[in-house]
Amino acid sequence: MSSSTKLNATLKTLVDSKQYEEASKHFDQQPNLHTDFSIDMAIKACTMLHDYKRGINILQKLSSNSLSNHYIQISLIRFYMECRDVDNAYRVFASISNKSNYGYTAMFKGLRSNGMPEKIIDLLEEMKIEPDNFTLTLSFHACAQVANERAMRIGQKLIHKLLTNSQNEDIVLNAATYMLIKFGDIVNAERFYKSVKNKNIITYCTIMKGYIEKKMFEQALDLFEHVNLVKSDAMYTMAFNVCAKLGNDRAIKIGNKLLDELSDNRKSSTANLTSALHMLMKFGNIQNAERVFELIQKKDVIAYGAMIKGYVDNEMFEKALDLFEHMNCELNNDMYTKAFSA
């Protein structure tokens, strides 16, 4: 085995095991053994470390051949996006002559993480190749996030592509369903939901999230009750929040039942317990809300905020101020607002 091959293998092992600093050191110490593969690994390590200076230093030493290597180009896009240098990510993407779904996926993911869903739609309109399942999924999420007239038009065009393909993966159908709910097209959303063959927790969470965002709380609760799989913490959190929003007899009954059935494992989730105490406060069940609050082992500002807001909403202002005075976590502006309200 040649020395450069050994370096390649070492770097891959270190990157795969998330030892990014070690990978970077190995790369820096053996400049004469660099190959396109080792360069790619080094850029990935810089990306995960958010080490912009080191990444740029590697880039400045690259040959024109290395700069035209497709894998290095994709890694550079990810590096720039992760370091919030979107303009240079675009520059690298523009330099790719034969664009692939691999490149579009890197751009879409980077734009999503930088909070630029409109830019994803811009690129989508320029695509000259057929989107694959990864780019389709990211496209549906971008259209759902933007949800304006243009996004709806493009989203509907993508839906037509799905309808002509009998080999759609469930993850794509989940994303399409969520988008349609965000568009308010509930009939077609439910049709897509039914077409998902292997419904999993992600499927149900996606649909519940869509219903909640559209304030369709009864439908969200209906769906939760019909889930036959082991429910996730995220689903319990959403269910408690839905019950709190509704506050009717059915919601109170279901919410209390869920809390009674909550396993010890679920009771270790701060998010679950915070949502549960928020729900109980909405029901006016102060005593049980206080019991749930005491179960939270690591009380954060969100848990304290839920309790203080609950006291204020139930006009128990002395208790709100007492709790505020005894808080042992860093306060934010919202907490001060709640305290002043009391």
- Dump pLDDT digits (tens) for 17-29: 999 999 999 999 9
| pTM for this model (two decimals) | 0.78
Query: Residue 12: pLDDT band by 50, 70, 90 thresholds?
Result: very high
Query: Residue 235: pLDDT band by 50, 70, 90 thresholds?
Result: very high
Report pLDDT for 310.
94
Report pLDDT for 337.
55
- Dump pLDDT digits (tens) for 262-302: 888 888 889 999 999 999 999 999 999 999 999 999 888 89
Check pLDDT > 70 for residue 181: yes
Check pLDDT > 70 for residue 329: no
- Asked if 340 contacts 324 with a C-beta cutoff of 8 angstroms, the reply is no
Report pLDDT for 43.
97
Domains of the chain, by residue range, sit at: 1-98
* Locus of tokens 């990306």: 47
Chain center to CA of 132: 20
Options 1.10.260, 1.25.40, 1.10.287, 3.90.380; CATH of 1-98? 1.25.40
pLDDT: which is higher, 314 or 2: 314
Full DSSP string of 6-66: HHHHHHHHHHHTT-HHHHHHHHHH-GGG--HHHHHHHHHHHHHHT-HHHHHHHHHT--HHH
Tokens of 293: 């609050």
Report pLDDT for 166.
59
Give 231's contacts (C-beta < 8 A, 6+ positions apart): 201, 224, 239
Once rounded to an integer, what is the mean pLDDT over residues 195-209? 88
First-residue to last-residue Cα distance in the chain: 72
Helix H, strand E, coil C: the string for 79-143 is HHHHCCCHHHHHHHHHHCCCCCHHHHHHHHHHHHHCCCHHHHHHHHHHCCCCCCHHHHHHHHHHH
Helix H, strand E, coil C: the string for 238-277 is HHHHHHHHHCCHHHHHHHHHHHHHCCCCHHHCHHHHHHHH
- Other CB atoms within 10 A of residue 138 CB: 22
Query: Residue 336: pLDDT band by 50, 70, 90 thresholds?
Result: very low
- Tell me which residue of 294, 257, 254, 298 sits closest to 277, measured CA to CA: 294
